[in-house]
Structure 1
Amino acid sequence: MASSENQVALRNLKQDGISQLVDPQHASKALSTDLVNLAKEVQKADSFVRANVGNKLQVIVEQIRFLQAQAEKVLGEAKRDNDIHHIACNCKKIPGNMYFMYERPGGQRYMSLISPQEWGSACPHPFIGAYRLENDMSWTPEEETKTRASDEALIEQILHNKRVLAIAQPEPAADAP
């Protein structure tokens, strides 16, 4: 037997011969405090919704700022690459090679395969910078080549692991009729 403290007493009202569990007269009456409490709950819910939307919008704003910075970086690199491709070069440009930029006294820049170290003291013009031509015909400044190489190695490793995972996954079994 269940103890009396665990039992719930239900009213069994009869109206028109039908049993009812709720007294319609008491259920339809709202106290003024009920309306105030309801208004407070609605206001509280509005505040939570506004805060939630604000938090989500803040994340989107941060993503927009990040994407703007990325777009500026891409456009800056594209301009640099375009400018370098238009610099005089009397040799065939081959991806993977390092090219060295020099500037003549009149301000004209040119690309060479000969580094300042190879020139030594006989270097004819001031050295501006070194760039490696990539397979996608973009240019990587010499100081960024190690970072780019490690990024490419990581990408290759990820692609290799995806291929390994794709090969290792069993095909789903066909449903038997």
Structure 2
Amino acid sequence: MKRALGFEVENLTKKVSLVNRSDEPCGIQLVNSAAVGKRAPNDLVELAIEIQKADNFIHANACNKLQIIADQIRFLQQQAENVLRETKLNLDLHHAACNFVKVPGNVYHLYKRPSGQEYFSMLSPQEWTNSPHSHLGSFRLEHDQSWTPIEAINQKDVELTLINKILAQGEHSINMLSLQSSPH
């Protein structure tokens, strides 16, 4: 038992870094170097336990931070996929056949002929009763030349209104800053 305890203490000493003792720290003789160097039998064990706790906490903190980064990476991948999907849709819609000049802010209706040709029309399915061509969707051309599906127009308008309010507040803040910084 004593041999096993000695082995355990030796292992702890290897794991726990203790400060090298000096009988004359900074050139000053200690009053009683034996008393200063004494330690309780389980001091090394307690010190090793504290180091193990610190190691565990540091590992857990690193894992938590890496989890946040992994979540951000997944979010950015999803955003990239959305951008690529929107880009493909916008390119496809801009390449659809059209015999008129498309004006931003207007809604256009995409149809497909039996031949497979896709084209834009100004007539909605409700206006063009008994259309010989299948209706693929209706889209609003935005000022940035992107397309918004008709079912997402209300949401897009809410987003644009919010963005315009933020921009207006930003301009107001900039104007207030310029008034404050101008000499009177």
- Whether TM exceeds 0.5 here: the answer is yes
Structure 2 counterpart of 1:62, from 60, 71, 77: 71
2:88 partner amino acid: K
> Hey, what does 2:121 align to over in structure 1?
112
Which structure carries more strand by proportion? 1
Q: Deviations over 1:74-132 (max 9, x none)?
A: 100100111111110111121111110111111111111111122123x2312110011
1:48 equivalent to 2:21? Answer no
Mapped to 2, the partners of 1:136 and 1:163 lie a distance apart of: 21
Mapped to 2, the partners of 1:133 and 1:23 lie a distance apart of: 89
SS of corresponding position for 2:126: helix
> Hey, what does 1:36 align to over in structure 2?
45
Gap change, CA 1:25 and 1:145, over 3 Å in 2? same
Mapped to 2, the partners of 1:26 and 1:132 lie a distance apart of: 86
TM-score (norm 2): 0.76
C-alpha displacement at 1:172, in angstroms?
10
2:99 partner amino acid: N
C-alpha displacement at 1:162, in angstroms?
2.0
1:118 partner amino acid: E
SS of corresponding position for 1:72: helix
Structure 1 counterpart of 2:135, from 122, 127, 132: 127
Gap change, CA 1:135 and 1:45, over 3 Å in 2? same
Gap change, CA 1:41 and 1:111, over 3 Å in 2? same
1:146 equivalent to 2:151? Answer no
> Hey, what does 2:89 align to over in structure 1?
80
Mapped to 1, the partners of 2:93 and 2:45 lie a distance apart of: 71
1:162 partner amino acid: G
Mapped to 1, the partners of 2:108 and 2:58 lie a distance apart of: 58
Mapped to 2, the partners of 1:103 and 1:163 lie a distance apart of: 45
Mapped to 2, the partners of 1:23 and 1:157 lie a distance apart of: 76
Structure 1's unaligned 5+ residue stretches are 1-17
1:58 partner amino acid: Q
The percentage of aligned residue pairs carrying the same residue is 47
Structure 2 counterpart of 1:71, from 59, 64, 80: 80
Gap change, CA 1:24 and 1:161, over 3 Å in 2? farther
> Hey, what does 2:145 align to over in structure 1?
137
> Hey, what does 1:13 align to over in structure 2?
none
Q: How many residues align?
A: 154
C-alpha displacement at 1:63, in angstroms?
0.8
